[in-house]
Amino acid sequence: MTIATDKPVLFVDVDGVISLFGFAPGGDFPGAFHSVDGILHCIATDCGERLRRLEEHFELVWATGWEEKANEYLPLILELPFKELPSLTFGEQAVFGSAHWKLEAIEQYAGTRAAAWIDDNLDERCERWAAERDAPTLLVRTEPATGMSDEHVEQLLQWAEEHRRRA
Ligand SMILES: [Mg+2]
């Protein structure tokens, strides 16, 4: 397989990272509501800018139960400079509220490359996978009510920088 980039991969979950839920009712919403196939999603403010910063240092890959819908909706909503990203498919395995069903597709895509993964549902199976990889691997957990923050972005960029220096 030829790899077009030596950037590490960043697997990006959507629900709980970009599309927020579980925030306190009554206050200001943490994003703007958008209809995705007729269902309203609260898409986090500033996530487009965060993904743009990350895209300079990572190959971004959608790793979400949204599958191809991520490309259908998110680049437009988030005003991303790219029309689409690679997106993983999971067959019928998607289960809301967990993430281990993503492991097979993630492992297959990552191969021997350095890889980071941002998700709100990383469990012990995901941790075991990360610990057992030979290539540098970083798991970044989000809270579904707040999603990806500037701190998460800084953590990812710092890790990518360290990886670049080591390589
Ligand atoms: Mg999620």
Distance separating alpha carbons of residues 156 and 167, to the nearest angstrom? 16
* Residue 36 located in a structural domain: no
Domain hosting residue 117, numbered range: 9-18+46-166
pLDDT(149) > 70: yes
Contact 114, 136 (CB under 8 A): yes
Average pLDDT over residues 106-133: 97
Residue 167 CA, ligand 1 centroid: distance in Å: 31
What is the count of structural domains for the chain?
1
pLDDT(140) > 70: yes
* Residue 3 located in a structural domain: no
pTM, to two decimals: 0.93
* Residue 124 located in a structural domain: yes
Mean pLDDT, rounded, of the chain: 93
* Residue 1 located in a structural domain: no
Residue 142 CA, ligand 1 centroid: distance in Å: 9
Q: Which residue has the higher pLDDT, 108 or 5?
A: 108
Average pLDDT over residues 47-54: 97
Residue 100 CA, ligand 1 centroid: distance in Å: 11
* Residue 116 located in a structural domain: yes
Q: Half-sphere exposure (CA, 13 Å, Cβ side) for 102?
A: 30
pLDDT(1) > 70: no
* Residue 145 located in a structural domain: yes
Percentage of the chain beyond pLDDT 70 is 97
CATH number at residue 142: 3.40.50.1000
Contact 36, 73 (CB under 8 A): yes
Which residues are found with C-beta within 5 Å of the ion, ligand 1? Answer: 13, 15-16, 120
Average pLDDT over residues 51-69: 96
* Residue 142 located in a structural domain: yes
Looking up tokens 């800084």, which residue turns up? 154
Contact 122, 141 (CB under 8 A): yes
What pLDDT digit, counting tens, does each position of 14-30 carry?
Answer: 999 999 999 988 888 89
Residue 166 CA, ligand 1 centroid: distance in Å: 31
Residue 97 CA, ligand 1 centroid: distance in Å: 7
Residue 150 CA, ligand 1 centroid: distance in Å: 18
* Residue 29 located in a structural domain: no
Alpha-helical segments (H) within 19-102: 47-55, 69-77
